[in-house]
Amino acid sequence: MTLQHRYPDEFMPSKYFLAKDNDKTFQFDDQLPSLPIPSLKSTLSKYLESVKPHLTREEIEKTVQAVRRFAENEGPKLQSILEERAKAKRNWLEEWWLSYAYLKLRIPVTPLMNVTGIAPYVFHLWPPSKGTQVTRNSLSTYFLLEHWQLIKRQKLLHDSGRSGKEPWSMYQFRNEEGEAPSHLVVFCNRRIYKIDSVLDSKGRLFTPPQLKHVLSRIKEEAYSQEAGPGLSSLTTLDRSTWYKLRQHLVSLSHTNEQHLHTIQSAIIGSSLVDDTPSDMSQLSQQGLLGKPGNAWYDKSYSSIWFENGTTVSNCDHAPMDAMTSVNVSFYADCRLIECEGVWKGENEEETNEVPSYHELHFTIDKQIEDGIAAAESSYLKLARNIEIINPEFHTFGKDLFKELKLHPDTFVQVCLQYAYYKLHGKPAATYETATTRKFYNGRTETVRSCTNEVVAWAKVMLDKDSLPSQKIHLFKNAMKKHLSMMRECMSGQGIDRHLFGLKIVAAENGFDIPDIFIDPAYEKSGGNGNFTLSTSFVGFTSVHGGVAPMCSNGYGCFYRIGAKRIVFFISSWISDEGTSAVKLYASIADCMTEVIDLLSNNTVSSI
């Protein structure tokens, strides 16, 4: 039985991750076009359309007036300043986005901003099994390090658009893992260790057996002592408090500063944890909400391994978007499938050399100890307030969408809107990720998936007197609108990043905050981080994960689409009695089935 047959919608031979011939990973980055700035007229027109589902007629009229004043007064001046910035910077958004969307925020990065991902091999290759933690970690880490080497040597294939001929920016991969250093940090029993190098004396990666040897020694040593101070818990604090404690930590000892640099510059962080999550929902909860003290949440990529051989990742969102970490996880999954989860010693030479390691001993005082205790208390309070589920919808998947000529992501998005409307009786301001990586150092744009077209369709679906032909007609309109918006956003013609830029220009140039950003419509439609549904299509790979809800009455909803199934990650706040991840998924599953039944029982032309 071939691997492709065993894993038809999850496996890709690892050779397809490799750059061809003399190609290099970053060779096209400097050739990509600059990120464009949409016209002010276009953005304001689209903005007015996007707010209508969330406003009354009276509110719409007030917003129209606010937008008109902006277009006639501050808007053109702010647009001009923004255009001047774009002449000097190939990506006018890049620095602002990193600073204002991430680094200036004072909220804890976990669980509020970081992304968690479930290692897919847990379910199709390595089911939970006691005593496998170190063996599996060593093999998986080896393949993660292979990926690191591909980046370092510029042998990772550059991404491209759907045509396969349009190169995309790869610069985020520079931030995925440490660049110059070649060491790892390991967290175990609230202690922190450094594996001095992942390369042997000949410059080769240490093999899984060699990594297993050192990980076993670290684990044995860590648990032969009492639990450590759990210094990594400090990374769960709000940013201002963590900054002050970090500065104090550095003031206590120069060695402390060196240790912090060691942690920050490590290729990845690897955690050995004694919990035993056994299903996707439990793993997601551990990845985003697990016990503090055993992971450094400021790392771009942290791999957390549990006693029963299951694993998740936790990734700092600031330096890279989720699809970057998806690439490394998918690579490791495909390599593991190729070797059937067992190290077979390809090209291994006999050697007695093993990696060296040592514990990082910090000098701490009562202020730091109190900070750790406060961090763990505030973190656990947040973590206990988030519900996460990972249901699998097995009724259909990509194969059926292909048969019916439906765009998979668009189908799920419009059904998600219908499901929310059916459950809550109102539209949801929605964020869906669109990539702008076709541009220089591009990251993301927001697709405002809650459109007038999809709301009109949802209302007709709930009308018992409406005809199937009406439902299908409006469904097609909703699908076409979403597809059109996605194309516009990927082409740099979305509205949210443009509005964000205009707002920053006003703030940095001494303007009063324009009425358009004070008008209630801005936040009601999702502005200032108020999207009720925070969604993202994770792709067609085996990798899956998600985030916490963006706002207190909202949901996080990520999904991946396989050949015959759709896997969801849904989160909600337990303290908000009006939301429920379980109920939302039930509504999604019901609505998707209803729509497919509608289309299957009626003649539908291609959408």
Question: What residues are labeled active site?
Answer: 317
Sign of CA dihedral 259, 234, 101, 113: positive
Q: How far is CA 227 from the centre of its chain?
A: 32
Sign of CA dihedral 582, 586, 592, 593: positive
Per residue, the 3-state secondary structure of 282-304, as one string, reads HHHHHHHHCCCCCCCCCCCCEEE
C-alpha–C-alpha distance, residues 441 and 96, integer Å: 13
CB atoms within 10 A of CB 80: 12
Strand partners, 292: none
- For residue 435, give the H/E element and its range: strand 430-435
Strand partners, 313: 117, 303
Phi, psi of 431 (to 5 degrees): -105, 125
505's tokens: 């220009």
Half-sphere exposure in the Cβ direction for 360 (13 Å, CA): 28
Q: Residue 405: which region, alpha, beta or left (left: phi > 0; alpha: psi -120 to 50)?
A: left
Q: How far is CA 40 from the centre of its chain?
A: 30
445's tokens: 């744009």
CA distances from 574 to 237, 286, 314, 532 (A): 21, 17, 22, 15
Query: Which residue is listed with tokens 């210094």?
Result: 231
CA distances from 271 to 147, 202, 218, 240, 242 (A): 19, 27, 11, 26, 21
Local structure of residue 101 (DSSP, 8 states): I
Asked if residues 447 and 489 have their Cβ atoms less than 8 Å apart, the reply is yes
Strand partners, 156: 18
504's tokens: 């920053």
C-alpha–C-alpha distance, residues 474 and 112, integer Å: 36
Local structure of residue 167 (DSSP, 8 states): B
Angle between helices 468-490 and 452-461 (to 10 degrees): 160
